[in-house]
Structure 1
Amino acid sequence: MQALMEMQIGASEVVQVLDTGCAVLPPESPLPMPEQSLRKGRLHVPRQRTAPLGIGLRRFYLIGGTMSMSLIATWVMLAVMWPGGINVLEGCLLVLFMFLFAWVTMSFASALAGFFCMVFGGGRKLGIDPQMPLPDLHTYTALLVPTYQEDPCRLLAGLQAIYESLSETGQLEHFEFFVLSDSRREEFGLAEEREYAALCERLGAHGRIFYRRRADNTGRKAGNIADWVRRFGGAYQQMLILDADSVMTGDTVVRLVAAMESNPDVGLIQSLPVVVGGRTLFARMQQFGACVYGPIIAYGVAWWHGAESNYWGHNAVIRTKAFADHAGLPALPGRKPFGGHVLSHDFVEAALIRRGGWATHMVPYLQGSYEEGPPTLTDLLIRDRRWCQGNLQHAKIVTAAGLHWISRMHMLIGIGHYFTAPMWGLLMLVGIAIPLVGDGIDLTAGMHFSPAHYWHGRTDGDVLWIFTFTMFVLLAPKLLAYFALLFKPYERRACGGALRVLLSILLESILAALMAPIVMYLQSRGVFEVLAGKDSGWDAQQRDDGKLSWSVLLRSYGGLSVLGVLIGALAYTVSPPLAMWMSPVVLGMAFSVPVVALTSHRLVGAVLRRWGIFLIPEETAPSKVLIRVAELRRARQP
């Protein structure tokens, strides 16, 4: 193996990477990547050439519509509570209601725009037309696969499928591949070297697929990519960033790169990855939601993002010079978790590229981009804890000089996403506390009390209107997604037909409601941990089916279950109607262990698949590249 890795291969030269094993790399082509200042800077090119017509009106619709509906709902809520004056608790509830209602209303307004784009065919841009012949390429692109202690067989199966798919387009000569390892454990490094050598041998890809493992993984994934840019970026006009679980068709890759070539002022194009490969109930539920709800959400945000779209860190093509000139991330002042290296680097890199005068776009209509989701709720929440810290870290970046206001909005939305969890919890608690405190209820008297009685006693019609409208705004994106699917015969049939899709949406909504209190509690805990200074660390992600033991489940969720039982018992002691009113939250908490266990089971997912529940087109009619990935992974299994 050592001899194989150290031999000269074609135009490539071997570079010893300190004590981390051997690397096979092309000649270096350095590209300066200066660290950017957050204190100084200005916005170059306030309006991009590729911005859609009427982008200002689109954003006025989103923000104006959100504010209008939120103010109306808040005014009605104020009228409900006004008799007798507004006390401190009622004032707190009003503020919480206003912010949370605005949050869900903005999602609704964006989804509504996405629905019309999907149904009536709007939103295509940058000259990308999947129905047209494949364009010819004239530049060189590097496909980068950063990895950190991933299964190399699984990782390189995906890379091989992409390689073969690109070869079928006849334009493979415009691409080179880099496996950029940050693995620390020696057994992972040795396995990566072994599998890399075998891959090159199978494909005859010496001189086209390269590998290196960093001696110092400073900066995590962002530092990994920055190291490549500074050493090799000068030889490639574009780089396409992939995650360890990413797969893309050659057709999609070529069209993305061609769009970069034909739009020299575009710095980044983000595709919409479809979540695939899930086998547990949780994973299949998540990928069904991403398949059905994801497109109208993505079409909606792309519609009002315009040339200021966000970046998700993978399955995106980036102009290498734009990235090198403007996306060098500084270390944030202070100690972790708010200081140090930027964790959620993708949002910041997109914002800095846009500040530098380059357009950033999302193209949700271009199919052939895939990723895998976490197999269990536990794995999702572990990942979510890291994202929580990264997003809250953006509080130090959102005021950076020269950022486009939409870039600032992206960061504020990311921060707000995590604060909504404790805000929902506070809204529920304050809603219970107001009648308890305001009416002077004697808890020892065992009165049959429910907050619903209190609120109905205020103004029946107004309370019912607020509740109905809030539920409509919450559920409307799912309904719009269902109606949009009905307009697409192929996708509708591939998802099992209209009836099975509707049943899947109902089951997904029930499961999501059961898991919502778990997510709310753990996200709230994550926010408080970050504010208290606790760092999330950096661990390898679980990508195979999660098999959670009961001991792990009890350790992770047993306390939450006990808390749910205690709250339910206390509520019942006060009043059975109060316990009934709180039951949606209490049941989710009390049954958190069996709910997580059930949704983590592959057998349940398989049964539902046989029944046609949670089907997605990538299961019923998978693309050639997905079939190839599955074949390669099976072949490499011991």
Structure 2
Amino acid sequence: MVTVNHTIKSNTDHDNDADMLTIESGMPDECPGEMPVQSLREFGVDAKRQPVNPNGCRSHSWRRWLVLGTAVLLSLWGINEMRAVLAVGEMTFVEYLVLILFSLTFSWITVAFSGSIVGFFYVVGQRFFPRPLLSAPLHTRTAVLMPTYNEAPERIFASIEAMACAIEESGEGRAFDWFVISDTTDPDIAITEEAAFHTLRARIGKTINVYYRRRRQNTARKAGNVADFCRRWGAGYDHLLVLDADSLMEAGTMLELARRMQADPDAGLIQTIPQLINGTTLMARLQQFATRVYGPVVGTGLAWWTDKEGNFWGHNAIIRTCAFMSAAGLPDLKGNPPFGGHILSHDFVEAALIRRAGWSVVIAADLSGSYEECPPSMIDLAVRDRRWCQGNLQHSRVVTAKGLHWVSRTHLLTGIMSYLSSPLWFMLIVVGLVLALQAQFIRPEYFTDEFSLFPSWPRMDAARALTLFIFTMVILFTPKILGFIAFIINGQLRRQSGGFIRLILSFILEAILSALIAPVMMLIHSGAVMSILLGQDSGWNPQRRDDGSLPLKSLIYRHRWHMAVGIFLTVAAYFNSLVLLAWLSPAIAGMLLSVPLSMLTSSWSIGARVKKWGLLRTPDESVRPAIRQAMDETRGAYETAVSHAPDLLTLASDPRWYAVHLALIDRMPTRARGKVDAVEATAAMKIREATSVSEAVSYLNQREQALVLATPALFTALSQLSLSQVTPSLPTKSPLSEESLLPESLI
């Protein structure tokens, strides 16, 4: 990429002095490198690198024996107890189904139980024996990547400025370059991104390297966006610090990640555990409270036993560029979506491929100062989880890949089970109900083919069933309880979260609301799995960040099947017995109340009221993170820039805006002869037939407008329609000649 660096003279009514400003391209000169697509069917031993340090990629096997061995023993005990509960008499077919479904769902929760016990002791121990931070000067270069897709530009660029300035103040600014890599398809948002970028460059661009690039085609979504950056600019950087559109990281956290990567030549990827912040709705505050209070125990336990075979969650992590480019080029899966095509949940697969190549993948559970935001409502959570569900189920095509470490396969299986567990739980409820109805209404078969003095009908050991139920609840809730204990015994965290009483009330409120939401999410995930099995693709939609409220009519429509299932289970249980209805009531209640529950938890005003009462408070609300405070103070400048951004008509008609935009258009890839883009051809014909810019813009649909903005020839052709209407100051030789003018808002 040849950097455009033309001096443009300002000639506006607002400034009689000829200020000299500079237009530069959005990106630095390209530094290309190879990123070969990896094979899932073949992997030779000779393709695996040898560690620099003998123990650089060696994990402690005894940790796996302790955590996973305990989980296996607990699973075997629970499964045997369920068998004993059902096997009082001869087991029926339905009872066998109950046993199988219980075995799958019970085994799923034992790993979190055993891991959380270890995590508890480590979280408590870190208060007294924290890991020392590194202080060596950085001699490596890190590219900080902020991918975005139709997100609010003011949020993104304000966060970039806050983080970049914090790093600059540390004295290590030369070690970091900052990139907003856009996949935005909405032309209006694309234009406001450019306006925000110009503001960013004007505010900090003289001392900090900040860049912006919008892809013309968003092939392979976020994974393809990052891969495109790597193939064109990646070779110029030692590390990639990958963020998300809602990510924030403290300068100390970013510096420590870079120093740990620099100090460990065998480290391929270091993942932080992000904390949720800025929750406005009740749903967001529930997630924020849960991850802050319970998350450290679960996350630390996971980091401890996975050791050098950790995982990647797609953002808030640092990656060694050469490891990523040489080992993590993703293949397309054979067939069509939802199981074929581009790999959606690319992060798990990238971590597995990096580990396969001989690099370590570590979860830095001890590092704080890594933040993100969460969906504001159950509906938004369902939209996000639908995409994640499809991506995780795609891992069934990856889990058998040649050469993967068995722990990496475990991560992939865990991702699959995180969604398959929902239909399994639902099937267990339904089969359990059938078992109860069978015992109540179906006449027992007194005379079977085999001689017996007793009839063959379902019988259960009630005392053992109660014991097993209590044991299952202990397994299920221990991670939460241990997380809460570890949190509340920390005096500083307790005070920052409102004190002992408010924390207890928050814990109870979170437990009740989570118990009501869980069965609804179970049905949502079950529906997602079913739609994927039926061949429906999820698409790619931007995520809402703030208010998640929807009209009542929309909520009723979206939750209609959840209410219907709740009514069915209520009626079926009632006609069996009131005892069965009481047992099922925790699950049924959430389904029946799904509409008011969704309305309550998605309301910004309810969330504000709960916050005012001091409930579900986290330490980050009492002592606002410095990086968040800096972002909020900065955001106003970008909101102003976005509000004054031009539309496409102005961008093409005004020579000042025209020159600025043309400098930011990404390089056009070479087009193969005979391969014509239908959208591009249609847009070209519409522009050719128009007699003015406004007429041409009116002809173009949204997709065509976005393509025109990303295609120099089309954008120039559109702008040429205004030649007869512009002043003599319009450039005649080059759109970037010295006679061009900048937009007045940039002067």
Q: Do both share a fold (TM > 0.5)?
A: yes
User: What is the SS of the residue equivalent to 2:559?
Assistant: helix
| Pairwise CA RMSD | 2.4
Structure-2 change in CA distance of 1:436 and 1:315 (3 Å):
same
Residue matched to 2:547: 545
| Pairs within 5 Å for 1:113-512 | 113-121=118-126, 129-130=132-133, 134-205=135-206, 208-438=209-439, 440-441=441-442, 458-512=460-514
Whole-angstrom CA distance in 1 between matches of 2:190 and 2:104: 48
Structure-2 change in CA distance of 1:596 and 1:51 (3 Å):
farther
Whole-angstrom CA distance in 1 between matches of 2:501 and 2:68: 35
Residue 39 of structure 1 aligns with an amino acid whose one-letter code is R
Structure-2 change in CA distance of 1:395 and 1:168 (3 Å):
same
Whole-angstrom CA distance in 2 between matches of 1:634 and 1:378: 29
Residue matched to 2:591: 589
Contact kept? 1:248, 1:370, Cα under 8 Å: yes
Whole-angstrom CA distance in 2 between matches of 1:339 and 1:123: 49
| Pairs within 5 Å for 1:27-46 | 27-42=29-44, 44=48
| Pairs within 5 Å for 1:558-569 | 558-569=560-571
Residue 610 of structure 1 aligns with an amino acid whose one-letter code is K
Contact kept? 1:116, 1:122, Cα under 8 Å: no
Residue 551 of structure 2 aligns with an amino acid whose one-letter code is S
Residue 273 of structure 2 aligns with an amino acid whose one-letter code is L
Residue 589 of structure 1 aligns with an amino acid whose one-letter code is M
The more displaced of 341-350 and 609-618 is 609-618
The more displaced of 93-102 and 288-297 is 93-102
Contact kept? 2:32, 2:232, Cα under 8 Å: yes
Report the Cα offset of residue 498 of structure 1.
2.5
Superimposed CA distance per residue, residues 66-111 of structure 1 (whole angstroms, 9 cap, x where no aligned partner)? 1111111111211121122111111111111112111111110011
Structure-2 change in CA distance of 1:284 and 1:329 (3 Å):
same
Contact kept? 1:110, 1:297, Cα under 8 Å: yes
Residue 57 of structure 1 aligns with an amino acid whose one-letter code is W
Q: Pick one of 485, 508, 514 that aligns with 2:516.
A: 514
User: What is the SS of the residue equivalent to 1:522?
Assistant: helix
Residue 91 of structure 1 aligns with an amino acid whose one-letter code is Y
Residue matched to 1:55: 60
Residue matched to 2:96: 91
Whole-angstrom CA distance in 2 between matches of 1:100 and 1:45: 38
Whole-angstrom CA distance in 2 between matches of 1:232 and 1:124: 41
Structure-2 change in CA distance of 1:239 and 1:466 (3 Å):
same
Report the Cα offset of residue 136 of structure 1.
1.2
Whole-angstrom CA distance in 2 between matches of 1:42 and 1:59: 26
User: What is the SS of the residue equivalent to 1:86?
Assistant: coil
Larger Rg computed on CA atoms: 2
Report the Cα offset of residue 634 of structure 1.
4.7
Residue 494 of structure 2 aligns with an amino acid whose one-letter code is R
Residue matched to 2:605: 603
Whole-angstrom CA distance in 1 between matches of 2:127 and 2:66: 16
Structure-2 change in CA distance of 1:54 and 1:408 (3 Å):
closer
Whole-angstrom CA distance in 2 between matches of 1:63 and 1:37: 30
Report the Cα offset of residue 633 of structure 1.
2.9
Number of residues paired by the alignment? 608
Report the Cα offset of residue 251 of structure 1.
1.2
Residue 96 of structure 1 aligns with an amino acid whose one-letter code is L
Whole-angstrom CA distance in 1 between matches of 2:584 and 2:218: 48
Residue matched to 2:84: 79
Contact kept? 1:26, 1:207, Cα under 8 Å: no
Structure-2 change in CA distance of 1:286 and 1:498 (3 Å):
same
Report the Cα offset of residue 551 of structure 1.
2.0
Structure-2 change in CA distance of 1:592 and 1:205 (3 Å):
farther
Residue 300 of structure 1 aligns with an amino acid whose one-letter code is G
Whole-angstrom CA distance in 2 between matches of 1:458 and 1:42: 53
User: What is the SS of the residue equivalent to 1:212?
Assistant: strand
Residue matched to 1:527: 529
Structure-2 change in CA distance of 1:523 and 1:124 (3 Å):
farther
Contact kept? 1:482, 1:502, Cα under 8 Å: no
Structure-2 change in CA distance of 1:560 and 1:517 (3 Å):
same
Residue 528 of structure 1 aligns with an amino acid whose one-letter code is M
The more displaced of 206-215 and 513-522 is 206-215
Percent identity, aligned pairs only?
42
Residue matched to 2:720: none
The more displaced of 350-359 and 543-552 is 543-552
Whole-angstrom CA distance in 2 between matches of 1:243 and 1:186: 21
Contact kept? 1:50, 1:307, Cα under 8 Å: no
Report the Cα offset of residue 163 of structure 1.
0.9
Q: Pick one of 69, 74, 81 that aligns with 1:69.
A: 74
Residue matched to 2:618: 616
Superimposed CA distance per residue, residues 517-541 of structure 1 (whole angstroms, 9 cap, x where no aligned partner)? 1101110010011111100001111
Contact kept? 1:52, 1:306, Cα under 8 Å: no
Report the Cα offset of residue 608 of structure 1.
1.7
Residue 623 of structure 2 aligns with an amino acid whose one-letter code is A
Residue 356 of structure 1 aligns with an amino acid whose one-letter code is A
Residue 132 of structure 2 aligns with an amino acid whose one-letter code is D
User: What is the SS of the residue equivalent to 2:35?
Assistant: coil
Report the Cα offset of residue 554 of structure 1.
1.4
Report the Cα offset of residue 6 of structure 1.
5.8
User: Are 1:629 and 2:634 matched, yes or no?
Assistant: no
Whole-angstrom CA distance in 1 between matches of 2:371 and 2:522: 28
Structure-2 change in CA distance of 1:77 and 1:566 (3 Å):
closer
Whole-angstrom CA distance in 1 between matches of 2:336 and 2:59: 43
Whole-angstrom CA distance in 2 between matches of 1:101 and 1:576: 26
User: What is the SS of the residue equivalent to 2:548?
Assistant: coil
Whole-angstrom CA distance in 2 between matches of 1:100 and 1:376: 26
Report the Cα offset of residue 573 of structure 1.
4.0
Superimposed CA distance per residue, residues 216-263 of structure 1 (whole angstroms, 9 cap, x where no aligned partner)? 111100000000000001111001001000001111111100111110
Report the Cα offset of residue 206 of structure 1.
7.3
User: Are 1:104 and 2:109 matched, yes or no?
Assistant: yes
Superimposed CA distance per residue, residues 110-168 of structure 1 (whole angstroms, 9 cap, x where no aligned partner)? 1111111111239999xx624x6x43111111001111111111111111110111111
Contact kept? 2:110, 2:475, Cα under 8 Å: yes
Residue 108 of structure 1 aligns with an amino acid whose one-letter code is F
User: What is the SS of the residue equivalent to 1:180?
Assistant: strand
Residue matched to 1:18: none
Unaligned runs of 5+ in 1: 10-21, 443-454
Structure-2 change in CA distance of 1:26 and 1:207 (3 Å):
farther
User: What is the SS of the residue equivalent to 2:241?
Assistant: strand
Whole-angstrom CA distance in 2 between matches of 1:189 and 1:8: 23
TM-score by length of 2: 0.78
